[in-house]
Amino acid sequence: MPTIDLDRAWQLHPQVSVRPEPFGALLYHFGTRRLSFLKDRTLLEVVRGLSDAPTARAACTDAGVGAPELARYQAALATLADSSILVERAS
């Protein structure tokens, strides 16, 4: 299972486009031509907040993700990072 360090800064890959949908969002990576679905509006808020938050953990907190749910969101973010949808942001 892929992992992601929540205490690091992350962002959407520059070649990824986000299209909000009633169920969540569609993410399209123009470089890899990979389409990903976010089926959770809170996860969409986390992903959108990554570029402004100092860490992925902060983006989760800002989106209202509580401690009991954090592992689930960490796994979702790790999957997105593993597919190059998310990349670590330079400090």
Can you spell out the DSSP letters for 4-66?
--TTS-EEE-TTEEEEEETTEEEEEETTTTEEEEE--HHHHHHHHHTTTSSSHHHHHHHTT--
Q: Each residue of 7-60: pLDDT tens digit?
A: 999 999 999 999 999 999 999 999 999 999 999 999 999 999 999 999 999 999
Q: Tell me the residue range of the domain where 75 lies.
A: 15-83
Q: Six-digit token pair at 76?
A: 């979702």
| CATH code of 30's domain | 3.90.930
SS3 87: strand
Decide if 5 is inside a domain: no
The pTM (predicted TM-score) of the whole model is 0.93
Decide if 1 is inside a domain: no
Decide if 72 is inside a domain: yes
